[in-house]
Structure 1
């Protein structure tokens, strides 16, 4: 009997160890088959097989369009980014080729407007110190690039939280929000879609071929227990004022007696046509 219990214990230990060591892909890197995508990183290696030791067949630069042919089961995690390998096809000149690329090098989203391509992707992981707990945490860095053909015009980068918490992302082009000299506004959002996991909104102004990142917004909540919401009121929004955007924050937390305690704050950023300053 003792031998049986020992064997069962060993099997359970192996099972949970395997579970802990299993690598999963982040949801933001889930790309549909038979759909076009674009390369985000400066150069992406195309391999003969879906693994890092396979022969390098080619290299693709930023903004190269590819077609997703097949999502492979294998997942590679680099830093805080975990992504599947994808079989792709692409065209260079008159030649159409196929190969495998790592999904973490592809755009999370991309848009085209007025002859410019705008690319949104997660490019790397950095070590960020948590001053409150005196610890070092792995942090994802996302970026937005403005391209004119194959030429990089400008790029900006910002934090997006831990990789395993990111399951959803959007990237949209909005109006200029009636901000002087602004051609258009980009909005990148990443979210974990789970209670207690923050989502991040990054607004970026585009003017004179320059990208200007506004202070990042963060929203988080846990059912009816607490929430923290941040937003901008632009000149074209209700309550907006000319040549400015207003930051608004509201948070709520329930105490032990289920009573709501709310807190609100706001601040105004003045826009002079080329930069912003806190009023």
Structure 2
């Protein structure tokens, strides 16, 4: 597992010039004034001004929270992603303080399950091989115990750029799968016809993440549609000990409305409490 490199030395690196309006990554956090921001990096420095060279006021760890006070027009490009600095309010040493946090150190989403804090964020952005190629997002999920110690983390690669303009997470129940206490579902989507919406599912046992089958949906107006549905044991049509994926593809006629061809497919995954294995046809 790659280490999550967020140190003072990295933050002291010279940022590349960029314009706020031209960076997709900025939109993924969707932070508004007054929102609670959860620290995602192993260590995050709060600085006296929005600059990686500014003096450090405090050092926060993953799971700590701050309040978004004011968005600045200053950006920093680090690990391939460009995000702004926020003026934030927080409590340290029993005192209320204000400082500046680079948004790239924050979680995209965080959820509480019993005494465990589950969160996900972007570790880095890998640029495309050419200017026409979309970048890749290295997304990491973390589980922190009551004392904010790391219980587990998992990494996945997501196609970025126009394919992941928005990100959303949701904590589900175990959906009838044995030995799971919850399921974390991550969603990354674009905002144009023909761009898929991808869903990533990870089961949570209470101590570790377990990968589950994924699904993807896509609609190209007047041309084709692709729809994947996962049926878990507790859902209508679900079966005990199984995850069923139903895929439906449709093609539209020249009028762009009438469906002229429909294809369906059904995949079955057997859940053994540790992994979901596809049944061979």
Instruction: Provide the TM-score with structure 1 as the length reference.
Output: 0.81
Match of 1:140 in 2: 137
Q: C-alpha deviations, 1:161-185, integer Å up to 9, x for none? A: 2145433322222111111121111
RMSD of aligned Cα (Å): 2.8
Q: C-alpha deviations, 1:20-48, integer Å up to 9, x for none? A: 99633532122011121201122223222
- CA gap 1:235/1:128 in 2 versus in 1, 3 angstroms: farther
Rounded to whole Å, the distance in 1 between the matches of 2:85 and 2:101 is 6
3-state secondary structure, aligned to 1:246: strand
For 1:63-102, list aligned pairs within 5 A: 63-78=63-78, 81-102=81-102
3-state secondary structure, aligned to 2:236: coil
- CA gap 1:246/1:127 in 2 versus in 1, 3 angstroms: farther
3-state secondary structure, aligned to 1:27: helix
CA contact (8 A) 2:134 2:161 kept: no
3-state secondary structure, aligned to 1:170: strand
For 1:55-204, list aligned pairs within 5 A: 55-78=55-78, 81-126=81-126, 137-149=134-146, 150-163=148-161, 165-204=163-202
Match of 2:32 in 1: 32
Match of 1:273 in 2: 273
Q: C-alpha deviations, 1:55-96, integer Å up to 9, x for none? A: 333332111111111111233344553322111122234133
Match of 1:14 in 2: none
Match of 1:207 in 2: 205
Unaligned runs of 5+ in 2: 1-17
CA contact (8 A) 1:153 1:210 kept: yes
Rounded to whole Å, the distance in 2 between the matches of 1:143 and 1:113 is 18
Instruction: Provide the TM-score with structure 2 as the length reference.
Output: 0.81
Rounded to whole Å, the distance in 2 between the matches of 1:36 and 1:57 is 19
Match of 1:23 in 2: 22
CA contact (8 A) 1:80 1:164 kept: no
CA contact (8 A) 2:242 2:268 kept: yes
CA contact (8 A) 1:250 1:265 kept: yes
- Residue 98 (structure 1) shift: 2.0
3-state secondary structure, aligned to 1:31: coil
Number of aligned positions between the proteins? 258
Which moved further from structure 2: 187-196 or 235-244? 187-196
CA contact (8 A) 1:23 1:75 kept: no
- CA gap 1:173/1:94 in 2 versus in 1, 3 angstroms: same
Rounded to whole Å, the distance in 1 between the matches of 2:30 and 2:97 is 22
CA contact (8 A) 1:29 1:84 kept: no
The structure with the largest alpha-carbon Rg is: 1
- CA gap 1:246/1:160 in 2 versus in 1, 3 angstroms: same
CA contact (8 A) 1:23 1:82 kept: no
Rounded to whole Å, the distance in 1 between the matches of 2:269 and 2:173 is 18
Higher strand residue share = 1
- CA gap 1:39/1:273 in 2 versus in 1, 3 angstroms: same
- Residue 206 (structure 1) shift: 0.8
